[in-house]
A and B are shown apart, each in its own frame.
Chain A
Amino acid sequence: MSSSVKRHFRTLASVENFGLYVVFALIILVFSLTSPYFFTLRNFMDILRQSSFVLVAALGMTMVIITGGIDLSVGSVIGLSAGITSVLLLKEMPTSLAVAVGLVSGIACGFVNGVVITRLGVTDLITTLSTMSIFRGILFMMTHGVPFQAFARPNFSFLGRGSIGVVPVPILIAAVLFAGLWYMLNKTIPGRHVLAVGSNDRAATLSGIGVGKNKILVYMISGFTAAAAGIMLASRLSSVPPDLGTGYEMSVIAAVVIGGTALTGGVGNVTGTVVGSLMVAIIGNGLILLNVNPFYQYVINGVIIILAVSFNNARRRSKSR
């Protein structure tokens, strides 16, 4: 390799999340070459739409993980806020109000998480593990175990099933939330504070930053995005079974971690999370198109997570000598 090529490669390799993009491009390349149906606009829109539900919740989760925390309760918040919105719709509440109350309930869930963690000093893992059970339990009590159905009306179904031009609405919602959180994280004071808290909370405190306040904020953001994902799912499925969202925390955390956000906090961005969510969705989609036994998908998903994270770790280590 000539030296100039080497130098270019080095600057390229220093790009944040370089490993992730390489793996991402390789996966697309492999599927494009092996399946005639993969590289089509229609299929891409499908992938984007499928991934948008996980992505929306993962955007908020990114903020939590950047502060060094974790939110295991997102799956339950997805179910609970979807349940609350659908109950209100069944009671003839206007769609906009029902959605708003659903979103607020998600923010409230996040507030509870944040307050328990920062004021009662319970660790994030235990807190959100407990609230995962509590929020799920509330949904079960609301539904008595029977799915909410027949709440759909045209303007509500639009959120999960509609499209503007060729672009499905869930993709637009995800794009708007992405833009908002990207702006907050990269351009504003609260975003800078969140990053500082995750990187060194003691130094952040001594710089006058309220660590507790910022932690509560990120859990509220995570609750909000989980609620948005839940409402989108309710609209998409026209039904809220009591176990809606169960297991979502796994895909959501996976998307964030594949996206290069460090579980130790301080490092991360929502752009990576977009790629992370797409990657999970693309692998699923491509394997189906290739008629691969769906059971293999679990194994392949796990391997991809480990590969992407270890790639990023190696890069981070080499950067810090």
Chain B
Amino acid sequence: MGLTDTILTARNVSKRFAGVQALDNVDLTMRRGTITALIGENGAGKSTLVKILSGFYKADSGSFFIDGEEVEIRSVHQSSELGISVIHQIPSFAAHMSVVDNIFLGREIPMSRRRGPLRRFDRRTESDRIRPLIEQYSGNFKPSDRMENLMAYQQRLVGILKALVFSARVLILDEPTAALPIEERDLLLTRILKLKDEGYSILYVSHHFDEIERVADDIVALRDGVRVGYADTSLSQQQMVEMMTGFPLDSVSRIYKVNESIQSETEEAEQRNRHVFRLNPPTRGSVTSKPKGSLEIDLQEGEITVLSGLVGSGVKEIGEAMFGMRQDWTTQYRSAGVLRIVDSPSAAISSGIGYLSDDRIGEAIIPDFSVRKNLSIPKLTRVSTFWGQISKEHEQSITQELCGKMSVKMSSPEQAAIDLSGGNQQKVMLARWLYTESKVLILNEPTQGIDVKAKQDVIALLQEFVSQRGACLIVTNDPEEFLDLADRIVVMQRGEISGDFRFPDIRHDDILRAMLINV
């Protein structure tokens, strides 16, 4: 392979963030006119590498070559001058504006023969420039079409065309099919293959191994910031998982959760109450993450269940539907022989269900309320008289008790909850559902954005919650840190259950396979 065959080479790239080695001497070689797939688990360093190549981060060390010539990448501007362009997961557009106006936004072509700040831009020249590109890639839309009227794959294509117009040669596609309806994925993939045929070089970052199997020429795998695998042929999905995780799939690898006796489980299981959720997603509409038919999630009291899948697999939507947050779904909840319809959060709360949002600031905390008022808000009847008068003393004593038990660091129950640290906020949000005496807790990414100590506290709390006959469902895109406390892991892929593992058969590689491999 001669030098001119490689368009981009990165050598010994390292990057460190506050004590964490995000990338450690990573090499990357992209051959001209090929598609290189970049794979790895969450946190493996994929996005750090992408951000370094696009000039968003500066590498601590390492060298870069374009067409065999050494270059520096120190800014986003420099990176795009070199012809590198990142097309982001979900591109941001001005939805009400036309395709042509979006492509040339901020870089309009001015009318010739005119000067000054108020000169008009030349939409006709702009349109003439992109029209052949749209045709070449069978976009089936016009430059004048409004962005919002395009199909999702066409919008992605506009993002790519924008890069081509501004003379990109290396395209970095970051999860290009994320949030794309399934039936449109093939439409986008054929256009990506067409880009390759036209001589563009593509770095394809994705979790979807079936797509990679289809389009990739080369594969680079990262784990914990280190390049752990490289192949210049296409691989099977099985081989990709092996390369990424570093162990063959057939061998027995790590078994988690060894601290509990299996025997007692089976003995008690008979008397334990089950919480069964039957979910019916809306039949109309075409959303990628929507399950195809009705589906049943059953949680057993005294157990922690983890529901896991990639972004777009539908796990988040299922968690929300179980709490009655999705108006177009129907949710039936059966527990102790009683059937309830959960059509709103308030119906869920009165059925004994609690929900922790992954968006703490936007969906959980009431910013103008003190810790005390934040805690009692889902069930004020517990601290008030028959006529609805709230007892502040009662609220305070409950706040003191629960926050003391959870070791929330606060100056007093009257402190504004928004002023607490992230970990303490999260504990207060959890305390809410202990206060309502929930039987079922649905937690969406419960350890996201909190420090290590708070994580341990939160996990300890969940374990205590289930030990007192509670049932707990953790919804997450990244199951790794919950593997050793899960009694059961349900894995979803593109709206369907692709794996269901129960302790002691919870193995890291099985879960990854269920999350990633599409058969």
Contact = CB atoms under 8 A, between A and B. Distances in A.
Interface stretch (B367-375, B452-460, B498-506): B367-375
Interface stretch (B20-28, B141-149, B382-390, B476-484): B382-390
Contacts of B325: 205-206
B390 A200 contact: no
A199 B363 contact: no
B366 A189 contact: no
B55 interface: no
Interface residues of B, number: 32
A199 B380 contact: no
Interface string A180-194: 000000011110110
A154 interface: no
B368 A266 contact: yes
Given A196-B377, A208-B346, A209-B377, A202 B363 contact: yes
A236 B363 CA distance: 48
B366 A203 contact: yes
Interface string B333-355: 00000000000111011100001
A202 B365 CA distance: 9
Nearest to B381: A189
B346 A210 contact: yes
Contacts, number: 74
A190 B388 CA distance: 8
B62 to A, nearest CB: 38
Contact of A206 (B350, B355, B389): B355
Given A188-B389, A189-B380, A202-B363, A207 B345 contact: yes
B373 A192 contact: yes
B345 A205 contact: yes
A100 to B, nearest CB: 23
Interface in B224-265: none
A171 to B, nearest CB: 27
A208 B366 contact: no
A304 interface: no
A192 B325 CA distance: 22
B362 interface: yes
A266 B416 CA distance: 13
B378 interface: yes
A199 B346 contact: no
B357 interface: yes
A193 B355 CA distance: 19
Given A188-B389, A189-B388, A199-B368, A207 B377 contact: yes
A203 B325 CA distance: 12
Interface residues of A, number: 23
B311 interface: no
A203 B363 contact: yes
A142 interface: no
A189 B390 contact: yes
A200 B345 contact: no
Contact of B345 (A195, A198, A206, A320): A206
Interface string B117-138: 0000000000000000000000
B398 interface: no
A172 interface: no
B364 interface: yes
B407 to A, nearest CB: 24
Given A187-B390, A189-B388, A192-B380, A208 B367 contact: no
A185 to B, nearest CB: 11
A260 to B, nearest CB: 13
Nearest to A319: B416
A-B CB proximity, top 10 nearest: A208-B346, A266-B368, A208-B349, A199-B368, A207-B378, A189-B388, A189-B380, A207-B377, A188-B388, A199-B366
Given A189-B384, A206-B357, A209-B377, 18 more contacts: A187-B389, A188-B389, A189-B381, A192-B380, A195-B368, A195-B369, A198-B368, A202-B362, A203-B362, A203-B366, A205-B325, A205-B345, A206-B364, A208-B344, A208-B346, A208-B348, A208-B350, A266-B367
Interface of B: 323, 325, 344-346, 348-350, 355, 357, 362-369, 373, 377-381, 384, 387-390, 418-419, 432
9 contacts: A187-B389, A189-B381, A192-B373, A200-B365, A206-B357, A206-B364, A207-B345, A266-B368, A320-B419
